[in-house]
Amino acid sequence: MPRLIVISNRVAVPTGDGNSRAGGLEVAVRATLKRHAGIWFGWSGKVAASGKARTQAIDHDSHSYVVTDLTQEDYHEYYNGFANRVLWPILHYRLDLAEFSRRDLSGYLRVNEHFAAQLHDILRPDDMVWVHDYHLIPLAKALRERGHANRIGFFLHIPMPPPDVLTALPNHERLIPALCHYDLVGFQTDNDAANFARYLTQECRLVSRDQRTFTAADRTVRIGVFPVGIESAEFGRLARRAVRSPFVNGVLDSLAGRAMIIGVDRLDYTKGIALRMEAFERFLAAHVEWHGKVTFLQITPKSRSEIQEYVAMEQEISGTAGKINGNYGEASWTPIRYVNKPHSRSALAGLYRASRAALVTPLRDGMNLVAKEYVAAQDAEDPGTLILSRFAGAAVELDAALLVNPYDSEAVATAIARALSMPREERRARHEALSQAVAANDIKFWADRFLTALERPSKAAWLREVSTARVS
């Protein structure tokens, strides 16, 4: 078996204390590397003074990690700048929040060159290379320029918007076509893949017979759909254990028999947290019979706190929670518990299982693993109800959830009322369908399918692979 070299912006080197950072990409890659021998390469998370940035190899539990530091400039221009202030909002359709500067773009290209230079010393000719996410779009090009002819695949964890939105990205013609240096470019949904195919057709004038295989100069790039999954059986087991833990029992005791609705999201404007709280407020306004009988627990670890929009959003969300609690709360009942503290995976799993419903209402999301985790954590005999945004990639597979438009707070309020009073038979039927969908596309299938498609040169075999991916 060739070695697998996984490359992502951040590398989750185990800390040994059982804690992990919140983030879907790290959850998915960590699960993949449990099953494939290789190296995980990326940023160490450290910012070093210029000239002091180091690259270090770390071996831990038969896994190898190679991590490299960023300089202050890199951190501001590449990470906080181009990646998170330009690509993140634009790829989530939020042109209004994008703040472009040429300097940030050159920092972004410089860090990609730095990654390629470090990888140059590590790569062997038969290594399979799997690059993850929007931070590293030009990496294959930088590696090809250094002579690496390896199979290199790219997976975009977040959405790919249609050309009308993508072309608002200044210098898109310099950046997006660089994806053609990969052998395989994977997306979460058919919609994302079709948007990219349209970009290649309309903007790059590339020709394709099937909208899946494009030839650019002397290279062929293939496009595929690989919806990311979770370790569903393991997560279910974790939830069964954790729901009996002193921590979850303590939370349940504090609720004194009230129903719990849960939301778990990194603090991010794409997750629609403030609008979700407003929908909960509408539900309270319309359903006096639930006053004092339901608590909405929103767990939101902070992320990207150095970016202005995130600071403003933090204030908006805590202000909204405070206002609703002030208007509706009683001395003995707080309608919304808003918590920024990160929790262990096991605590989250137990809380999901103990909740009557989950509110997963992103305004736009590549996939959304929380939706799948909630499903995997339920008791099949008496499951809770998933309320899911139609704009999450997960809605394609999880269409047995209560699908909502997150911008329509009245509709979300109605879904909350429906979830809380849904008969057990209906909950079981919906859960059965959801649980099958989550189990059928476990994380190991995601990685295997992507890596098989990357390795397989024959187009006919590849097309069969895509159609299998669609039915499962």
Catalytic residues: 157, 365
Strand arrangement, sheet containing 4-10: 55-60, 63-71, 38-48, 4-10, 128-132, 151-155, 184-187, 219-225, 213-216
Cα atoms in the 13 Å half-sphere on the side-chain side of 297: 22
Q: Which is nearer to ligand GDG, 71 or 188 (CB)?
A: 188
Q: Token pair for residue 377?
A: 């954590």
Tell me the CA distances in angstroms from 257 to 92, 295, 313, one per residue in order. Answer: 39, 10, 32
Q: Which is nearer to ligand GDG, 292 or 342 (CB)?
A: 342
Cα atoms in the 13 Å half-sphere on the side-chain side of 428: 6
SS3 259: strand
- Residue 434 beta carbon to ligand GDG: minimum distance, rounded to whole angstroms: 16
Question: Cβ neighbours of residue 372 under 8 Å, at least 6 residues apart?
Answer: 229, 230, 232, 394, 398, 438
Radius of gyration of the chain (CA): 22
Phi then psi dihedrals of residue 282, to 5 deg: -60, -40
Give the CB-nearest residue to ligand GDG: 24
- Residue 147 beta carbon to ligand GDG: minimum distance, rounded to whole angstroms: 31
- Residue 376 beta carbon to ligand GDG: minimum distance, rounded to whole angstroms: 11
- Residue 288 beta carbon to ligand GDG: minimum distance, rounded to whole angstroms: 32
Q: Which is nearer to ligand GDG, 88 or 115 (CB)?
A: 88
> DSSP characters for 42-96?
EEEEEEE-TT---EEEEEETTEEEEEEEEEHHHIIIIIIIIIIIIIHHHHTT-GG
- Distance separating alpha carbons of residues 416 and 421, to the nearest angstrom: 9
Say how many residues make up the chain.
Answer: 472
Q: Which is nearer to ligand GDG, 320 or 346 (CB)?
A: 346
- Residue 21 beta carbon to ligand GDG: minimum distance, rounded to whole angstroms: 7
Contact footprint for ligand GDG (CB under 6 A): 20, 22-25, 27-28, 157-158, 228, 264, 266, 299, 301, 342-345, 348, 365-370, 373
- Residue 121 beta carbon to ligand GDG: minimum distance, rounded to whole angstroms: 29
> DSSP characters for 120-142?
HTT--TT-EEEEESGGGTTHHHH
Q: Which is nearer to ligand GDG, 266 or 427 (CB)?
A: 266
Q: Which is nearer to ligand GDG, 392 or 422 (CB)?
A: 392
User: Under a CB-based contact definition with an 8 Å cutoff, are residues 98 and 86 in contact?
Assistant: yes
Would you give the DSSP letter of residue 217? T
